[in-house]
Structures are given as structure tokens and as C-alpha cells.
Amino acid sequence: MRAFIEFKDVSFSYDVEDAQPVPVLQHFDLAIAQGDFVAILGHNGSGKSTVAKLCNGIEIPQSGDVTVNGMNTKEEENLLEIRRHVGMVFQNPDNQIVATIVEDDVAFGPENLGVEPAEIRRRVDQALRDVGMYDLRFSEPHKLSGGQKQRVAIAGVIAMQPACIVLDEPTAMLDPRGRKDVMKTVQMLNRDFGITVLYITHFMEEAAKANRVVVMDKGRILLDGTPREVFQHDDALRAAGLEVPQATELSLLLKRDGVPLSGSILTIEELSRQLEELLS
Amino acid sequence: MKKGTEDVLLNNTPILSTEDLTYIYQKGTNSEVTAIQDVSVDILQGELVGIIGHTGSGKSTLIEHFNALKKGTSGRVLLDGSDIWADKSKIRSVRFRVGVCFQYPEYQLFEETVAKDIAFGPKNMGLSEEEVNRRVTDALTYVGLSQSYAEKSPFDLSGGEKRRVAIAGIMAMEPQVLVLDEPCAGLDPKGRATVLQMIASYRAKTGCTVLLVSHSMEDVAAIADRILVMNRAHVAFFDTVDAVFSHAEELQEMGLDIPRITQLMLSLREKGIDVPANLYTVQQAYDALRPRLKGGSRHAQ
Amino acid sequence: MLSDITIGQYYKAQSVVHRMDARMKLILTVLFIVIIFLCKNFFSLAVMFVLTAVSILVSRVPFRMFFKSLKPIIPIILITAALNIFYVKKGTELLSFWKISVTTGGLSTAFFMAVRIICLIMVSSLLTYTTVPTQLTDAIERLLSPLNVLHISVHTLAMMMTLALRFIPTLIEEIERITNAQKARGADFESGRFLERVKAMIPVLIPLFVSAFRRAYELSFAMTCRCYHGGEGRTRMKQMKLSAVDFAALGVFLLSLAGVIVLNRFFQAMI
């Protein structure tokens, strides 16, 4: 698979008034393959949100290059095209909805792109059906739950028909039910539409559902691999202010005592199956 | 039952109680919504109660009654045995005795320095300057921030630090009952662990009664003495952790989870393996399973 | 529940008036205001009164809604009426005491003015009851678009109005949230003198502004990410289309205008 988004030797720091700029990323390399589902884990301040903002040219690296589908984010004339390809969903659902009616909000992106009205209508209806919000298309956003608002935000992105969607802690402010709905929607977009997903989170159970997990610490990549590989490194993760899924944690404790559990375990079901054999 | 829980429950003097408390939004209009109905609970002196329930179950409305931000449509709230609405002029003093820390409390910070912000509550109580200063110093310690934070601007802190300063602002009032509405929401794992630890150590030091609203069943199971489950404006369960999580099916029907470790134990029991169901943490599961599993000899029994 | 706030005063119903193009409704409202000021006697005013009544009936918005919007205006109506009664001296004198006299002319002028104001309020409420706020801002944007020639960015203004409408409920909720949080810390908003009360608002206002700026900042990011780059090259999903109903309504209003002009000429002017 070819890389859809590529970070090459990227360094980025924030300017601070009357002080030294704060370095966030240093010589950072990352390639996101087309169609992949990549989770980025990291504690607050590890630089993971900056990665999101670099993906569509909201921030521009001080050195190095970020390319999207071969287009460099440094070139102003690429930006509109890049943003059409890479949609963004942020943490706070309230602060990304612009219209007072759900369907009008979903139409906002295509309208900005100058899409024909009839085509916008078609895309808006489809996007709302895809995220399961069609029945609430005439609602006022402030009357929706957090999870519903976040799904409206996702519909607003897919109505732009992007190749990739970057979600920056989309479930951090939601209740468990909203979290599940959002995660299911994102998995569906990846699986059924082949949309590349970059999912930033600090919920381990969510990251475990990705194809690939990138763990960031102090602006660098600490671990990178499939969830099964990454979550084996429980000590490194804890040192980086993170944790591992509880099923993995328990299996690692038992394995270290020589209990013959095979493979790396991610879910409660997997652990239960293996323990059943050992205990009966 | 966890250590200390028995002591707390034996010493059963209620500090905060509700009697048939009902609250109806927009009463008398055609868009009436019953937020809580006939809630009667006794919160005991010194216990830690976890409050769970999905969004809209009424738990937030219930909390607002505990410190008189809302007045029940019917029913009473008793603090130390007396009706909090008996004397309206004393409502503010109720708020000092039942300290409520709402969701995302960092958005209430407003002063130039951390110390001044923490002092807002104690100053409103009319305490002497010395007493206010002592409480600010103590509160910073409770939330694990060094005294060097006192003169910083709260707006320059990280998200997790702001959260701790805001919680310190409530702790500084030294309430008899501390109510925290999802104090860990939006924090990363380390931040969540820090806040939970902070609450546990504050409680150990002050003996304060704590009510903790949380969506994390793992957190609640690990630190609560009893759990209050709200469902559709009613109290579904109010019992010890073990008793509440023994109703796994009912909880799942209400759209609530049970702790993952408990799920593991229940699935093993379903398969006919005799393991205890009332386990909630990785450590508990490890301690229970390890002796029964053959394997290496490092910790073999 | 605060999340029940409805933006503007839109009243949901299925009616011809609700279905009309917002631009036409806006134009007709302005036209109505012009015509009612052209009325010179009770006959022409009666035409407009009937037009108002018919519009309300067709809209299926219950009358109590109109009474609600009329309520705050009642003092103004009463004061205007009183001024007219006491200052207009025409026709026969009905009673007089001290320096004040009440005449038949005064009474009828007062009545005339009151009816005029009431019709005005009713028709403008009708516009807001039957039109979603965003449709109104859209209509304003489209009607004023010729002003773009004068380098006035009508689109920007309309976008600002839309965003304001979108965030009013959010900010109201935020005010309640912060107020509750500070009350929980013993803030006292109810007692004290004026200055003390203003000072007591500081713990609410500062967090509110901090949060409003944060929201604005995040919103601008989100809008940029969704390819917003001003009004240029932008299309709209909802096209405004004039239908037969709109032209029929325009016809009725123009007929009323003609009627008013004719009746003004044939009958004696009152004012």
C-alpha cells in the first residue's frame, strides 16, 4: 500500500511570547498507508494533536515536509485540495458545528467546495444515513447528545468525500454509549468505504480496534505496530503515562509467572477462551 | 467487600439524605420532563458512594439538589438531619458544607493566581485571612501540587493541572460532603489515575464523605464503598459494590457496562469454571487466578 | 431544561406562509409597513387590518402567540393613544376639565394609531414565527447581494449572523453552568448593592469570555478544515425558489396597495 500522508523529517515548535519556542516534534517521520486505520496514542502534551493539525496544513512544519497524496502542505495553492482529501473531527463537538440545523451543517463543506445544489442534497442525505442521523436531520444541534453531535460532525466530513479522516480525541468528552457509537461509525467508514483513518485517542480499548497503533512520547514515536505487538510493551507504555487494555495486562502478569498463555491477548473474550482451557 | 467498607457501613449515621425527592422540569407546561422521581437515599457519614447511570438518567439533577442549586418539586433533602430548605437565608452555608465540583471544573477558573482562585470559596465563607491561607496551602497539598504553583496564573497551566486547581478550590472549603461530577472526564490515563489517587488520599486525611459520579465502572468498582445506580429518573440500585455488580444483566439492559475484569470472571463462570464473580481489578483477578493455574515456579504456591 | 431553548421565535407548523420563500416574506413585510403608513382613513386601514387577519389565519400560528409578542408593546400603544387623545383637537368636544379636553377627533386618531401599531407588530411577528432564523439570514444575504458591488461583504455579515444564532444557546448554557459552579463555591449574586452585584459577576464573566474566545478559535479551525474560504465560489444546498404561492401573495399585497390608494382618494383623510 502506498503512503497517503507522509511526514518526512518534520520539526515543529510553538511560539511562546517572550520565551523560547516550545519544541513539539523533532525529526518526526511517519507514513500513513492508504486505507489503513491508524490509532495514535500518547498522553496530553505528547505532540499527537500537533500531528493532526499538520495533516491538513492547519499548521505548517518549520522544517521537513508533510505531503498528502503527493501534495506538500507548504504550498498554499494545495491547501484547499488537501483539506478536501483530509477531513478533520475535533474533540469538542460544540465547537465544530456551524449551522443551526443538522442537515445545513452537513452541507457546509460541500457548499464551500462549490458543489452543485442537487449533488449536495444527495451527499448530505447519504452522509446522514451513513452515520445514522438521518431521522434527526431537521434537529437543532444544541439539542443533540455529545455522541450525536460528533456523528453530525463526521457526516459533515464525509459529505466532502474525503480519502482520509483525522479524528483528534473525538470521544474524550462523550459518555460510554456515545463513544461506542462514534467508534462504530469510524470503523464502518474504514471498512465499507476504504477511508483512511487517523484516530487520536487515549482510550486503549479504542486503539486496540485499529490496524496499527503509533505511540507517541515527547514528540517522538515510542512504539509502532499492530495493537497486539504494541500492547505487549506494558512497561514502556506505563512509563509514557499510558496503560494497556486490562485483558492484556492480566495476561502479561500471568505469562510472566510462566502460565502458558499463547499469542498476545487483546480482549476479554480471547483471555477467557484460553483460561477456560487451562482451568478446566 | 473492600477494607474499611464494613467499618463505614456499620457506623451508619446518615449525613445526607433525600426523602421522596422529585424534580420536574418545566412543570405545568406540555413539555414536562421528570428528571428524578421519588428518590430516597441515605448517604452515610464517611462513605464513598459511586453514582452511575447513563446520560439523562437523572444523576446530574440529583447532585444539584444536594447543594441546593435546585429545589425539588416535591420531597426533601436532609443534611445532618435537618431540611436544607428550612431556612432560605442559610442556603449558602449548605453549599459550604456540601461541596460540589461540576464536570470540567477548569472552566470556572477566573483569578490571576492559583492561590487567589482556590481562596474564592473560603473567602466567601467569611474566614479570616490566616485561615484562608492555611486552607489554600492544604488544598494544594491535597491535589498534589507544590506550593510554587500558588503564584502562577491558572490560565498558564496544563489541562490536568487546571483540573486539579479547580478541585482544590472545592476542597479548600473543607466540606463535610464532597461531590465530584466526572472528575476524570477528558483526562489521559495518567491524569485519571492522579485524580483518583488524590480523591482517595483526601478522603483518608479528612474522613470526608465523598460522592463520585463516573462513567468508568472500573474506577467506581475500585474505590467506592457503595454504588448508587440511577436509571430513568429512579434509583435502580443502591448497595455495596458486590451486590450492585451481581445484577450484571439488569445493568446491561440499562445501557451500563460492568467492569471488564468482572466480565471475564462471569464468562468463565458461564463455562462452568468456579471462580469468584466479585472481582474488579487486574490485581484481584491475578490473585484469584494465579494459584489455580499451573505454570512456572516463580510465585508458585 | 436549558437545552430546550429555541433560537428565534420560529413556530413549527405546516402552512402556506411557512412554505413561502423567505425573500418574498421579507419583501412583503417591508411592503406592508410602507402601505400601512400610506393609509389615511379608516377605510384604507380596514383593508390592511383584513390583510393582517387573513395572513395570520392562513399561517396556522395560534393567536396567543401574537398576543405574546404584542404584550411588551402595550405600554407604547397606550402612551401613543393617550397623547393622541389629549393633543388632537378635532371634531366635537366630549369633555373637558382644567386645561385638557377630549374630542371625537382625538379619540378616533388614537384608535387609528393603535390599530396601525398592532398590525405592524403582528405582521413582523408573523415573519419571525414562520421563518427559520437561518432562512432569514440567507434571505437577507441574497437580497442585499447587490451591495457587494460597493465592496460591502454581505456574505461575511450573514455568516456572522448565522454563527451568532448557532452559538446563542450554547453560550446561555455556558452561563448557567459557570453560574452554578461559582454558586457552589459560595458566590452570591442575589444580595448587595448594584456595584457589589456587578462585581459579583466577575467570576462568571471572565470564564465566559475565556471560553467564548476558545470556542471562536476552535470554530475557526474547524471552518478552515471544512474548506471555508469566504463567499467566493460557494454554492448553497437549499436554493430559494419563488413559487406560485409567492407570486399570489405578492399579488394580494399589490391589490391591497391599490385598494389603499383608491380608498385614500375617495374618502376624507383622517390624519
pLDDT at C2 over 70: no
Partners of residue C134 in chain A, C-beta under 8 Å: 99-101, 104
Residues A193 and A275 in one domain: no
Shortest CA distance to C219 belongs to which of A82, A88, A146?
A: A88
- H or E, element range at B257: none
Averaged over B262-275, what is the pLDDT? 93
Say if residue A158 is in the same domain as residue A98: yes
| CB nearest B298 (choices: A243, A258, A280) | A258
- DSSP H or E segment with residue B177: strand B177-181
Beta-carbon separation of C237 and A99 below 8 A: no
Which of A210-214, B10-14, B44-48, B217-221 has the least mean pLDDT? B10-14
Our CA-based measurement puts residue B157 at a distance from the nearest CA of chain A, in whole angstroms, of 12
Nearest alpha-carbon partner for B180 in B162, B168, B188: B168
CA closest to A276 among chain B residues: B268
For an interface test with B, which of C185, C190, C213 has the most B Cβ atoms less than 10 Å from its Cβ? Answer: C185
User: Measured between CA atoms, how close is B299 to chain A, in angstroms?
Assistant: 7
Contact B85, B75 (CB under 8 A): no
Give the helix/strand (H/E) hosting C31: helix C22-38
Q: Are residues A250 and A146 in the same domain?
A: no
Instruction: Give the helix ranges, DSSP H, for chain B.
Output: 5-10, 59-66, 91-97, 114-124, 129-142, 159-171, 189-206, 217-223, 241-245, 248-253, 260-270, 282-289
Confidence label for C72 from pLDDT (cuts 50, 70 and 90): confident
Instruction: Give the CATH number for residue A155.
Output: 3.40.50.300
Report CB contact under 8 Å: B189, A269.
Answer: no
Per-residue b or e along B46-67, where b marks 16 or more CB atoms closer than 10 Å to that residue's CB: bbbbbbbbbbbbbbbbbbbbbb
Rounded Cα distance between C226 and C222, Å, is 6
In chain C, the residue whose alpha carbon lies closest to the alpha carbon of B66 is: C184
User: Which among C173, C221, C226 is the nearest to A109, CB-wise?
Assistant: C226
More confidently predicted of B228 and C100 = B228
Q: From the first residue on, what is the mean pLDDT of each consecutive set of 10 residues in chain A (280 residues)?
A: 89 84 91 96 90 94 95 94 95 92 95 95 97 94 92 96 96 91 96 96 94 94 96 94 94 93 92 91
The residues, any chain, with a CB within 8 Å of residue A140's CB and separated by 6 or more, are A100, A101, A102, C6, C7, C169
Mean pLDDT of chain B: 91
Q: Are residues A78 and A180 in the same domain?
A: yes
Cell of B177: 460532603
Q: Which residue has the cell 463505614?
A: B8
Give dist(CA B51, CA B40) in Å, integer: 14
Range of lowest pLDDT (B131-145, B216-230, C145-159, C207-221) = C145-159
**Is residue C151's pLDDT more than 80?**
no
How many domains, in total, are found in chain A?
A: 2
pLDDT at C183: 94
Phi, psi for A113 (deg, rounded to 5): -85, -5
ipTM value of the model?
Answer: 0.91
Q: Are residues A50 and A141 in the same domain?
A: yes
Residues in chain B within 8 Å Cβ distance of C211: 107
* Under 8 Å between Cβ of B192 and B184: yes
Same domain, A86 and A218: yes
Does one domain contain both A139 and A251?
Answer: no
Chain C residues lying within 8 Å of B124, measured CB to CB: 185-188
In chain B, pLDDT over 90 holds for what percent of residues? 82
Touching subunits for chain B (3+ Cβ pairs under 8 A): A, C
C241 touches chain A (CB under 8 A): no
Domain boundaries, chain C: 2-143+240-266, 151-225
A23 and A60 share one domain? yes
**A208: buried, middle or exposed (CB in 10 Å: 19+, 13-18, 0-12)?**
buried
Q: Is the pLDDT of residue B298 over 60?
A: no
Same domain, A132 and A176: yes
Do A128 and A155 belong together in one domain?
Answer: yes
- Domain of A231? 3-241
Q: Do the Cβ atoms of A117 and C229 come within 8 Å? A: no
CB atoms within 10 A of CB B233: 22
Taken in order of first residue, the domains within chain B and their CATH numbers are 5-258 (3.40.50.300), 259-294 (no CATH)
List of chain C residues whose C-beta atoms are within 8 Å of the C-beta of residue A120: 235-237
Phi (first) and psi of residue A223, to 5 degrees:
-140, 150
| Dist. CA C38–CA B266, nearest whole Å | 82
CB contact under 8 A, B110 and C203: yes
A44–B296 CB contact, under 8 Å: no
Q: Are residues A251 and A217 in the same domain?
A: no
B96 in Cβ contact with B132 (< 8 Å): no
Question: Is residue A200 classed as helix, strand or coil in its secondary structure?
Answer: strand
Residues A257 and A146 in one domain: no
Confidence of residue C92 (pLDDT cuts 50, 70, 90): confident
Residue C4 confidence (pLDDT) above 60: no
